[in-house]
Structure 1
């Protein structure tokens, strides 16, 4: 998944005690941030093989520390503790940790068997990337549902807030379509990792801009 991972982040951000949206957008892709960093450090690895699956050319053959269930739980727990301390809220920490954990669960649906429980076989994954008729509406549906929940829970404080959130949604949907059907792939795993890190950073910054023009739930209730 790509934009589908942001659905839980957007939904969680609608909660009155949630950490800021950009923090949750980082949480949604925390294990991918770590994965791409580990790829550049030669700790984890993947290959780019055009046609590897119907929707993704990535052969994610070695990612025991970021995409095992155990590894994800450790990342989620660390993020939950840090977020809870920074925002002085147990609820904020739990929401952040839950969003991190959602990444593995969503990947389980779309990945071919390349996920693990603790870094070694059995390999897990339902392989929906090879079933576009299911994977495409699933990913878009998860993202759009999160976007709707966020818009409902954090109403715009001005017309700019509406335009920014709408633009954010359209931009990510367009990026997803290019990712699926654009046909242009990075030249190497390192280039793909660098592009991924840049994309996730830009998305978090866009989330910060969006959140500046959305009201907190408590404010909307008054």
Structure 2
């Protein structure tokens, strides 16, 4: 799952005027992937390209205990939630940020083949919807578009910035689904993923700075 991970970010931003800004929630949504690709660069975690991995995604994510185990994701969620709470002095913001981080494992569980762990052990989990494109594609689009619509409906401000963000999300997802896949995993792939996350986060920050929750004062 790619853009589907941002659905909880849109939803969390729509929940309350005390929610973190959308840019912060976009970081939360992909925090464990940020960490995974950074760890992959320095050899702490690893992946490889395997065209037979799933029907949609040729990634064999064979070693990622610190970021994509349920325990690891939970630790990242607690740390990020506490950081947001410390900065904003708002418990609701910290809880929402932590839940968005935690949502990453849940959404990966739906789409990944069994390559997720509970705490880095040998038992692997994943429903493997990436092997069912006719299910995975509508699901990812539905949760993303639904959360985006709720965010726009619950906030006020110019509609241009969120539409630009949505357009880029859809373009990136189309490339991910239908574009050529890399022949091997390596530094270029990892940096490409980090750059994509950074661009989307900057756009989300722009959107968040231009839209306010309808219940916000002022």
TM range (shorter): over 0.9
Provide the residue aligned with 1:189 in structure 2.
Answer: 186
Name the SS for the 1:60 alignment partner: strand
8 Å CA contact 1:81–1:93 kept in 2: the answer is yes
Distance 2:181 2:55 in 1: 14
Name the SS for the 1:173 alignment partner: helix
- Superposed counterparts of 1:39-188, under 5 Å: 39-156=40-157, 161-185=158-182, 187-188=184-185
8 Å CA contact 1:67–1:115 kept in 2: the answer is yes
Question: What is the RMSD of the two structures over their aligned residues, measured on CA atoms?
Answer: 1.4
Distance 1:143 1:169 in 2: 9
8 Å CA contact 2:47–2:185 kept in 1: the answer is no
Provide the residue aligned with 2:201 in structure 1.
Answer: 204
Distance 2:185 2:63 in 1: 16
Distance 1:74 1:208 in 2: 25
Provide the residue aligned with 1:20 in structure 2.
Answer: 21
8 Å CA contact 2:48–2:184 kept in 1: the answer is no
The one-character-per-residue Cα deviations of 1:67-94 (angstroms, maximum 9, x if unpaired) are 0000010000001111011000000000
Calculate the TM-score normalised by the size of structure 2: 0.95
Worse-matched range after superposition: 183-192 or 51-60: 183-192
Q: Does 1:217 align with 2:218?
A: no
Question: Structure 1 regions of 5+ residues with no counterpart?
Answer: none
Question: What is the CA-CA distance between 1:212 and the residue it aligns to?
Answer: 2.0
8 Å CA contact 2:18–2:92 kept in 1: the answer is yes
The one-character-per-residue Cα deviations of 1:85-140 (angstroms, maximum 9, x if unpaired) are 10000000000000000000000000000000000121000000000010001111
Calculate the TM-score normalised by the size of structure 1: 0.94
8 Å CA contact 2:13–2:19 kept in 1: the answer is yes
8 Å CA contact 1:48–1:189 kept in 2: the answer is no
| Cα separation, partners in 2 of 1:40 and 1:83, compared to 1, 3 Å | same
Give the paired residue count. Answer: 217
8 Å CA contact 1:9–1:21 kept in 2: the answer is yes
